[in-house]
A and B are shown apart, each in its own frame.
Chain A
Amino acid sequence: MLGRIRREAESITINRTGILGVQSISTQYESVARPLDSLGITEIQYAPQGAQTASLQLNTLLTNTLEAGYGDSYSLDVMQNFTGDIPFSGIIDYGTEKIYFSQGYMETYSVSCGIVEIPQTSTTSTIYGDFGTGSFPFWAQTSETPTSLNIPSYSSMEVNLDEFSSNRMTSFSVDIATPRVPIYTLNADKPDKVIAGTPIEVNVNFSLDVDDYKIKNMRFVPDETVFRNATITLKKNNSDTTLLSYSFDNMLLTSESFQGGVDSNAAANFNLRSFILR
C-alpha cells in the first residue's frame, strides 16, 4: 500500500535540540565517484575524485529562539550561532526513517522580512562528516522541541537608517556568507580540520516605497563613497522584548535600483555591503 509522509512526521534536530518553525528542509549529496579515462580505454573503472560532502538547506520562521542558559555572546537565533567556527550534527526524521549528518558547517545565512510577513531565516551548510543512514544514537534528541513561539513581525521591527524618515521600507534581507576551508590529509576522507575563512561578506538589501529618496550619481561611487551604519532590531510581537538585533557599521553602498509601474508605487532597492574580519 502506498503511503505518504506529511509535515507532521518530519522534523530536524540540530545538536540534540529540535528546531521549531521549520518551513522547508532539503539535503543532498552527489557521489564523487567518476569514471577514469585513459588512452586506449577498454573498461569503465570508477574512483573517487575529490572530497565527498553533502549539503543542507534549511528555512525557518524566526520563531525558534535559543533556550535560556547561554551567555550574551550567543544569538537568540539558533542558526545564526553557526556562522562562527562551531560545527553541528543532527538528524532529519521523516516517518520512521532518519538521515544523520555530522560536521555541518554553515556557508550562508540570511534573514529576510517584508510587510505582512514573519521574518524567515535561510541557511545553507556543507556536511563534511557523515551523512545518511546508520546508527548514531549519540546524536539523538535530548531535549524537547521548544513549543513557545517568539513571533516577531514587520509591525514590531525597528530599522535605523537615515532614509526611512520619509520613505517606507517594505522589505529587507541580511545575507551573510561565511567561507570555509577544509584541510584534507592523505589517507582520510574527512577533513583534518575546517577553517572558518575570512572575511565574512555581509549584504543588506532594502526595498522602499519612495517619497524623496535620491538615487545617487553612479559617477560618485566609489570616489564619493556612501557609507552607512545599519541596525535592524526584531522584537517579539506586541512587546518590547528584543529577539534579535543586526548591526553593521560602515557599510558600502554598492547598488541601487528604481522601479515604477502602472499598478504599483514607485519603489527603490539598494544594497549595502561590508566585510567582517574574524
Chain B
Amino acid sequence: MATVFYDKAAVKVGIGTTSETLLATDCSLSFSSAQAPLYAIGSKGTLGQFPAGARQGDVSFSFLTSITGKHFNQQGNIINGLASGIKEAAANTSEVSGVEIVFAGVSGLGYLNSYGVGVQSNSVSSSSAGFTFFGSGTQLPVTGRLAEFAGQTIQTGQLATGIAHGRYTNLDNFATSITAGDTSAANVFSADYSITFNHNPVYKVGQEFPMTCLYTNAQETLGLTEDIFQSGLAFDSAANDLTLTLSGLAQTGPGMHIELKGAKQVSTAMSAGMDDIVRTQKNLTAVY
C-alpha cells in the first residue's frame, strides 16, 4: 500500500531529453483490458471472457498554463509545443512518437488526444490535456507503482511570473469590430482554445501493442466572449492566420503563442444571465 498525498503526486511530461513537471491541478489515469464473453451453441453458459482488444490506458489532467519554457521552437509549456508539433505532423508526415508521462510514479507512453487553454479576465489561465497510452511493441501501455514523485522543495515564495494570466493577456487582435455606421470594437472578456487530434494506432499480427501511431487530422477551435454581436457572419469568410498570445504577470517574456492557420469564423451567438450584460460568443476553427 502506498499513501501519496497530492504534494508528492507530480505530473511530468518528457520527450527525449526534454521534460517538464507541470503545475497540474488534477490528474486521472486509467488502464483497461477489454474482455468480451464468448458463447457457443450447445453450451448453456459462457465459455468465458476473452480479450477483445489491446490493453490501453488514458490520462487526462488540468494544469496552470506555464509560459516560460521553449519546446520544439515553440514558446510555452511542453504540451503547447507538443500540440503545435503534432498538428504540423498531422498535416505532413503523420507519424509521431509518443511522450512519456509520469504521474505519482506510474508512467506510460502517451499520444495526445486533446489540448485546451482557457483565459478570462483577472484569473490565472488553466489548460488541460488528454492522452491515450497504447503501449509499443512489447512495452506495456502503463507501468510502475503508485509512489511519491515530486521535485526538490524550495521554501522561498515568489511571484508567478511564468503563468499566463487574464490580467496581462491582450487579445484585442481577435476583437470583433464593426466598421459600418457606428464604428466600434468589442471588449474581449475571455477565450477558450481547444484542439483535438484523431490518430490511428497500427497493429500487426503477432503482437498486442501497435508498432506505430499515425495522426490523421486535427481540428482546433477558439471561442471568444465579447460584447458585440456579428450579425454579418459571412457564408464563406476569408481564412486568416492568427496568433493567440498568452502573457503572464508583469508581461515578462514573449508570452506563449498558439498559431491558428487558415482560421475561419464559423459561428456567433449571444446570451444573457441574471445580473450580467449580454455577452456574445464567436467561434473560430482551423483544421489540419
Residues of A within 8 A of B (CB): 32-33, 35-51, 179, 181, 183-189, 192, 195, 197
Whether A187 contacts B171 in the complex (CB less than 8 A), given A40-B150, A40-B151, comes out as yes
Q: Known contacts A45-B159, A185-B187, A187-B168; can you find 13 more A-B pairs with CB under 8 A?
A: A32-B122, A36-B124, A36-B160, A38-B23, A38-B64, A39-B11, A40-B10, A42-B154, A43-B153, A43-B158, A48-B165, A181-B276, A187-B167
Whether A181 contacts B9 in the complex (CB less than 8 A), given A36-B64, A187-B168, comes out as no
Most buried by A among B149, B156, B166: B166
Whether A188 contacts B165 in the complex (CB less than 8 A), given A44-B157, A179-B275, comes out as no
How many angstroms between the C-alpha atoms of A184 and B167 in the bound complex? 9
Contact between chains at A186 and B119 (CB < 8 Å): yes
Contact between chains at A46 and B10 (CB < 8 Å): no
Contact between chains at B163 and A186 (CB < 8 Å): no
How many angstroms between the C-alpha atoms of A277 and B9 in the bound complex? 53
**Is B203 interfacial (CB-CB < 8 Å)?**
no
Most buried by B among A46, A47, A48, A181: A47
Partner of B6, one of A32, A39, A51, A185: A39
Residue of B whose beta carbon sits closest to that of A38 = B23
Partner of A45, one of B7, B9, B160, B168: B160
Enumerate chain B residues within 8 angstroms of A184, measured Cβ to Cβ: 121-122, 189
What is the size, in residues, of chain B's interface with A at 8 Å between Cβ atoms?
A: 52
Contact between chains at A185 and B165 (CB < 8 Å): no
Residues of B within 8 A of A (CB): 6-11, 21-27, 61, 63-64, 119-124, 149-160, 163, 165-172, 187-191, 249, 275-277
Contact between chains at A47 and B165 (CB < 8 Å): yes
Whether A40 contacts B121 in the complex (CB less than 8 A), given A45-B159, A185-B189, A186-B191, comes out as no
Contact between chains at A42 and B151 (CB < 8 Å): yes
Q: B175: shortest Cβ distance to chain A, in Å? A: 10
Contact between chains at A38 and B124 (CB < 8 Å): no
Closest 8 CB pairs of A and B: A40-B10, A45-B160, A38-B23, A184-B121, A43-B154, A47-B160, A40-B150, A187-B170
Most buried by B among A38, A42, A46, A51: A38
Residue of A whose beta carbon sits closest to that of B24 = A39
Contact between chains at B189 and A46 (CB < 8 Å): no
Partner of B24, one of A38, A47, A187: A38
Contact between chains at B7 and A40 (CB < 8 Å): yes
